[in-house]
Structure 1
Amino acid sequence: MTAMYHPTLGVHDLEVAREWFTRVFARPAFRWEDTLDPKLLDPDYPRNYSFFFFIHDLHYVVLCPQLHATGALRGQTRYQDVPEGMIGVGWYTDDAVGMFDRLTEHGITSHDQKGRRITSENPPVSPMAPDIHVGFTDPETAGYRHEFVRIGDRHLEYYSRQADPRLRPDWVRPPVDPNDPLRIERTSHHTFLTADPERAERVYVDAAGGRVIGQRRNEELQALSTFITLGDSVVEFAVPDPKSPAAARVSSGLDYYHGISLQVADIEQVETHLAHAGVPTRRLSTEVTSIDPEAAFGMQWRFITRRPI
């Protein structure tokens, strides 16, 4: 894995979500169809079903499931009837075919963008273009829908210019932008709730090549957390205590993408900006404030001054 591709948030109304993210994060939105050269794509691939934000060092996607399953993706059902909230997380890989082979070796099944099982005879070729490989783990065996993608070399210059600057050879994480009302320093980590941490390690460590970097108690969630680094990101897998509020989220046995923590320079400035933006926050400690899922399309945004690991 080279880096996190993007988390994906599912929403019912793209325009409402676009306005909210623009107001909260003070960054421009850009449409999926503007991120790749259309001359290199299948003209039947659906358009206008998502938009992207680049938030300091985080490539983030908001997608409307009702608009997604059209054109070349007509008939796929992976996001059918999902409530608003996180519906996936993607990773760049240099070898998508090899990655899905390793997942299979560890008992993790996967499907392509049309919902077909990925096998050695059916590699995950995207309907977008033959040199883009995209596939997804089945939640039933992986706990969650994890996406792995390889973008063909001929697309990278355009995509890095239009969507994800981290793909540029000279990119480095920028310092705090003095014009950023949130004063973001970096993405700290992504938090999943799980009842099966061994399964999470099978996907992220055994198959994907990540590394466990620590464990600690998460008192906010009443959970024991394992932190794994993969690519350029850190993922927290939190096992909730029995009968804790978070335990209900994983009672089905599937993992739950709870939210993202951003490290910031000044908590008070974050709260001041969000108050002016009309977004309620909850102060969790002197070092942490959050936008709770009820106010953020089903996921939590935490703003912290110190990373947990």
Structure 2
Amino acid sequence: MPARVAALYHPTVGVHDLDAARDWFRRVFNRAPLRWEETLDLAALNPDYPVNYSFFAFICDVHWVFLCPSLHAQGALKGQTRYQDKPEGMIGLGWYTDDAVGMFARLAEHGIRSHDQRGERITSQKPPTSSFLPDVFTGFTEPEDTGIRYEFQQTGQRHWAKYSEKADLRLRSDWRGPVLEADDPLGLLLTSHHTIVTADLPRAARLYTEILEGEPIATSVDPVTGAQSTYIRLADTLLEFLTPVADTALWARVAQGEDYYLGLTYLVNDTQAVGAHLDSVGVQYDTGRDGEVIIPPAAGFGVQWRFVQSLPYPAQA
């Protein structure tokens, strides 16, 4: 069988100050950020692998990674430049695959270049590996070919039990989807969708529908801005590819060819309660149509965090 995307792996947020990001995350989501030792057995890791450049978080039904670019290129990752000079915000999106070798071969067949954690090109003679564990196979696409940097990872089964304790609850055999947590001040029900701004919709559609075999859901046009949204579902995730109108600020972000991973939208019980909580913790937000609450990138470490009370299109059954 051809390699497939099994599920979302994680979005990666680039932050300049991990301590400040941890504090913000605790205040906004009322969840404890996770250290590497809480997600994997450090004794099994490459001893030269730097484990101080990121922290992890599980929010509702999404496993997140917060990464500091200035701490990343150390030890086994020394010399890496892929995150160098990146502004704060979304710097990548990862997917679980059941066959990393087959996945990168499939991407290469369609002219998409990829590299491993050390920045070395993945080829048929040099399959993907990871710098931290021998039975984790991971690689990244080149943004020039795919708009943003996408990661595909195959994780050895022996790590699932530890990783599913706190880092990614979806790997548990009894996972049946998110539930409303009693101590969740935001009232998160589930993830609605991820938003990626693009001026090259055919490139995004080719990757997600032709190569990865995602399902086109619908298109819509914003009556105020004129921006077009194209929704594509892949595995357990809904993606919105937003094509802005020319000569707007969003268009300027993508006019040179690279896509802009803007952020993520959560479905909540009560957007007024979300606003009240953000007021209580001193986080700036805007209110949009239908009462939606939006933490703008300037107030959310470069990420747009949206909270809505209705889905743009029905969730997958």
TM-score, structure 1 length as denominator?
0.97
1:207 aligned partner: 211
Q: What are the equivalent positions in structure 2 for 1:56-71 lying under 5 Å apart?
A: 56-71=60-75
Deviation at 1:76, TM superposition (A): 1.2
* CA deviation vs aligned residue, 1:49-81 (integer Å, no higher than 9, x gap): 111111111111110011111111111110011
Letter aligned with residue 7 of structure 1: P
1:114 aligned partner: 118
1:289 aligned partner: 293
2:243 aligned partner: 239
Q: What are the equivalent positions in structure 2 for 1:160-199 lying under 5 Å apart?
A: 160-199=164-203
Letter aligned with residue 301 of structure 2: F
Distance in 2 between residues matched to 1:287 and 1:306, nearest whole Å: 10
Deviation at 1:34, TM superposition (A): 2.6
Q: Which runs of 4+ in 1 moved over 4 A?
A: none
3-state SS in 2 of match to 1:30: coil
The question of whether the paired residues in 1 share the 8 Å contact of 2:58 and 2:166 is answered with no
- What is the percentage of aligned positions where both structures have the same residue? 53
Q: Does 2:1 correspond to 1:12?
A: no
Distance in 2 between residues matched to 1:47 and 1:175, nearest whole Å: 31
Instruction: Identify which range, 173-182 or 85-94, moves more after superposition.
Output: 173-182
3-state SS in 1 of match to 2:49: coil
The question of whether the paired residues in 1 share the 8 Å contact of 2:30 and 2:183 is answered with no
1:44 aligned partner: 48
Distance in 2 between residues matched to 1:40 and 1:288, nearest whole Å: 45
Distance in 2 between residues matched to 1:162 and 1:20, nearest whole Å: 19
3-state SS in 1 of match to 2:137: strand
1:278 aligned partner: 282
Of 291, 305, 309, 2:309 maps to 305
Distance in 2 between residues matched to 1:121 and 1:231, nearest whole Å: 29
Deviation at 1:244, TM superposition (A): 2.2
* CA deviation vs aligned residue, 1:130-169 (integer Å, no higher than 9, x gap): 1101100000111110000011111111111131110011
* CA deviation vs aligned residue, 1:178-236 (integer Å, no higher than 9, x gap): 32110001000000000111111222122222111111113566411111111211011
Letter aligned with residue 289 of structure 1: V
Deviation at 1:285, TM superposition (A): 1.6
Distance in 2 between residues matched to 1:26 and 1:297, nearest whole Å: 17
3-state SS in 1 of match to 2:48: coil
Of 256, 275, 281, 2:260 maps to 256
Distance in 1 between residues matched to 2:253 and 2:224, nearest whole Å: 15
The question of whether the paired residues in 2 share the 8 Å contact of 1:8 and 1:61 is answered with yes
1:29 aligned partner: 33
Instruction: Identify which range, 218-227 or 284-293, moves more after superposition.
Output: 218-227
The question of whether the paired residues in 2 share the 8 Å contact of 1:106 and 1:202 is answered with no
Q: Name stretches of at least 5 consecutive residues in structure 1 with no aligned partner.
A: none
3-state SS in 1 of match to 2:288: strand
Deviation at 1:92, TM superposition (A): 0.6
